[in-house]
Amino acid sequence: MMETVVGIIAGVLQYLPGVLVFYVPALFGTVLWRERGEGYRLKAGLWFVLGFGSIVAVHIMLRSVSAEQVAALVGISLLQIAVALALARLTVYRLAD
């Protein structure tokens, strides 16, 4: 039982650095998204696309060899991006209120 719990915690902690890396563009994009005006939405979209895209591209260049590895990396990255966006949204709305 204890080995299972430790294994789950270790598995979650293994993906924490990726979430933290994705948190930076998520935070900037979320802050800009909250601002008023169409120009801010465009800037936020650029932060999301360029920030997340460049991080995923570097991961793919450094770690992937086969199509299966690329698909797995993109899938894991999407989950990490979702968590980073949730944390950024929580942070921005807590600080703004």
Give the contacts of 19 (CB within 8 A, at least 6 positions apart): 80, 83, 84, 87
| Contact indicator for 55, 22 with CB cutoff of 8 Å | yes
pLDDT at 96: 60
Host domain of residue 54: 2-96
Total domains present in the chain: 1
pLDDT at 12: 83
pLDDT at 88: 92
15-73 confidence digits (pLDDT tens): 888 888 999 999 999 988 888 777 888 899 999 999 999 999 998 888 878 889 889 99
Q: Given a cut of 70, is residue 97 above it in pLDDT?
A: no
Q: What is the pTM of this model?
A: 0.83
Q: What's the CA gap between 51 and 29, in Å, rounded?
A: 9
- Give the other-Cβ count within 10 Å of 8's Cβ: 10
